[in-house]
Amino acid sequence: MNEKFFDLKTEKQDRMINASLKVFARNGYQYASTDEIVKEAAISKGLLFHYFGSKLGLFVFLADYAVRYMKMEIVKAVNEKETDYFAILKSIEVARLAALRKFPHMQAFLYSLVREDDAAAVKATKEQRANLKTLQEDMLKNADYSRFRAEAEAADIEKWVSILLEGLMKENMKGGTFKAERYYNDAVKCIDMLGSLVRR
């Protein structure tokens, strides 16, 4: 992590992080513009490069920061003893809501990090992407899939949930302003609906 950056006032840190998350999430690494980031953050390009050195340095910082921040929120929200798959999912959404209230584009950035295909960015964030995968696996390590209907495959359900939640994220970002509370309410409704379809 970039310790010098954390000497800045919190408001400026958050502004720079939010602007960067938004631009990288929307455009991917290759097409993200540092000009757009500094304009969005209302800072100089010199300041950005002073703290991160390069666009790649900023991207790696964001990947690390976003994975750590989301993990912190999930650890607080998810009960390790919970085994109901859909209850765990709803706890994860509580964690996401807490993160998205402060960093509205963090989850969209994490989705884009998983799909990133720029060779330099992929290589530079290998550790962060591995940590994100481990976090996703750890979130559901105690989930009991035995309560699913016989025809409901766990891997299929996880894929459907991922597609639904990412779609809801995009839907609630329309118009340029992310509606975190509405996203959360929609996500919980979808989880409950899917749960009612596949539980025994």
> pLDDT (tens digit, 0 to 9) for every residue of the chain, 200 residues total?
577 888 889 999 999 999 999 999 999 999 999 999 999 999 999 999 999 999 999 999 999 999 999 999 999 999 989 999 999 999 999 999 999 999 999 999 999 999 999 999 999 999 999 999 999 889 888 898 888 887 678 788 888 888 989 998 888 888 777 888 999 999 999 999 988 888 87
pTM value is 0.90
Helix (H) / strand (E) element for 104: namely: none
Which tokens in the block code for residue 58? 């900023």
What is the domain range of residue 175?
4-198
Contact 169, 161 (CB under 8 A): no
The CATH number of whichever domain residue 34 belongs to comes to: 1.10.357.10
Total domains in the chain come to: 1
Which tokens in the block code for residue 175? 């118009």
